[in-house]
Structure 1
Amino acid sequence: MHEQISSLSVGRERPFTRSRPLPPYRGVLAVDAKGFTGRPALEHETISRTVPDLLMTALTRVGMREVWDDRLFPNTTGDGYVFGFDVSLVPMVIHPFLLTLQDVLTDYNVLSHGVMPIRLRASLHIGPLPDTRDEFSGNGTVRNDTHRLLDSRPVKAVLASHKENVTHVAAILSDRCFEDAVVSGYTGRHPDHFVEVAATVEGKPFAQRAWLYVPQPSGPLYEETLDRDTGDDRDIVPQEDVRTPESTGLRPHVENSAPGGNINTGTVHGGQSVSNQDIAGDLVKGNKARRVRGFQADRIRGDKNRGRS
Structure 2
Amino acid sequence: MHDARAQLPATSAAPHSRSRPLPPYRGILAVDLKGFTERPAIDHEVVSRAVPEMLRISLERAGLARLWTDRLFPATTGDGYVLGFDPALMPLVIHPWLDTLQDVVAELNVHALGTAPLRLRVGLHIGPLPDTADGFGGNGTARTDTHRLLDSRPVRAVLAEHSEHITHVAAILSDRCHQDAVASGYTGRHRDWFHEVPATVDGKAFAQRAWLYVPAPSGPLPGRAAPAGRPEAPTATPRRHDVTGVLRAERGIINTGSVHGGQHLTNLDASARPDLEGGLDD
* TM-score clears 0.5: yes
Once residues 62 and 98 of structure 1 are traced to their aligned partners in structure 2, the CA distance between those partners, rounded to angstroms, is 9
Once residues 140 and 39 of structure 1 are traced to their aligned partners in structure 2, the CA distance between those partners, rounded to angstroms, is 31
Say how many residue pairs are matched.
225
Aligned ranges 1:228-239 → 2 under 5 Å: none
Aligned ranges 1:236-251 → 2 under 5 Å: none
Aligned-pair CA distance for 1:9: 4.9
* Structure 1, 105-114 or 79-88: larger mean CA deviation: 105-114
Residue of structure 1 in register with 2:164 after alignment: 164
Q: Which amino acid aligns with 2:74?
A: P
Q: Which amino acid aligns with 1:57?
A: I
Q: Which amino acid aligns with 1:136?
A: F
Once residues 127 and 7 of structure 2 are traced to their aligned partners in structure 1, the CA distance between those partners, rounded to angstroms, is 28
Aligned-pair CA distance for 1:8: 2.9
Alignment of 1:138 onto 2:143: no
Residue of structure 2 in register with 1:79 after alignment: 79
| 1:9-58 deviation digits (Å, cap 9, x = unpaired) | 52331111111110000000000000001111110111110000000000
Q: Secondary structure at the match of 2:145?
A: helix
Once residues 50 and 134 of structure 1 are traced to their aligned partners in structure 2, the CA distance between those partners, rounded to angstroms, is 23
Residue of structure 1 in register with 2:264 after alignment: none
Q: Which amino acid aligns with 2:115?
A: V
| 1:176-227 deviation digits (Å, cap 9, x = unpaired) | 000000000110011100000000000000000000000000000114xxxx
Residue of structure 2 in register with 1:286 after alignment: none
Aligned-pair CA distance for 1:115: 2.7
Residue of structure 2 in register with 1:290 after alignment: none
Aligned ranges 1:120-199 → 2 under 5 Å: 120-199=120-199
Residue of structure 1 in register with 2:119 after alignment: 119
Residue of structure 2 in register with 1:301 after alignment: none
Residue of structure 2 in register with 1:272 after alignment: none
Q: Which amino acid aligns with 2:33?
A: A
Q: Which amino acid aligns with 1:19?
A: S
Residue of structure 2 in register with 1:96 after alignment: 96
Question: In structure 2, do the counterparts of structure 1 residues 6 and 90 end up closer, same or farther at CA, with 3 Å as the change threshold?
Answer: farther
Residue of structure 2 in register with 1:281 after alignment: none
Question: In structure 2, do the counterparts of structure 1 residues 47 and 16 end up closer, same or farther at CA, with 3 Å as the change threshold?
Answer: same
Structure of greater relative contact order (alpha carbons < 8 Å, 6+ residues apart): 2
CA-based RMSD: 1.3
Aligned-pair CA distance for 1:7: 5.2
Question: In structure 2, do the counterparts of structure 1 residues 100 and 14 end up closer, same or farther at CA, with 3 Å as the change threshold?
Answer: same
> Taking structure 2 as the reference length, what is the TM-score of the superposition?
0.78
> Taking structure 1 as the reference length, what is the TM-score of the superposition?
0.71
Alignment of 1:27 onto 2:53: no
| 1:217-262 deviation digits (Å, cap 9, x = unpaired) | 0000114xxxxxxxxxxxxxx8xxxxxxxxxxxxxxxxxxxxxxxx
Once residues 66 and 8 of structure 2 are traced to their aligned partners in structure 1, the CA distance between those partners, rounded to angstroms, is 36
Residue of structure 2 in register with 1:70 after alignment: 70
Q: Which structure 2 segments of 5+ residues have no match? A: 227-282
Residue of structure 2 in register with 1:108 after alignment: 108
After the TM superposition, which segments of 4 or more aligned residues of structure 1 sit over 4 Å from their partners? none
| 1:137-191 deviation digits (Å, cap 9, x = unpaired) | 0000000000000000000000000000000000000000000000001100111
Larger Rg: 1 or 2? 2
Residue of structure 2 in register with 1:235 after alignment: none
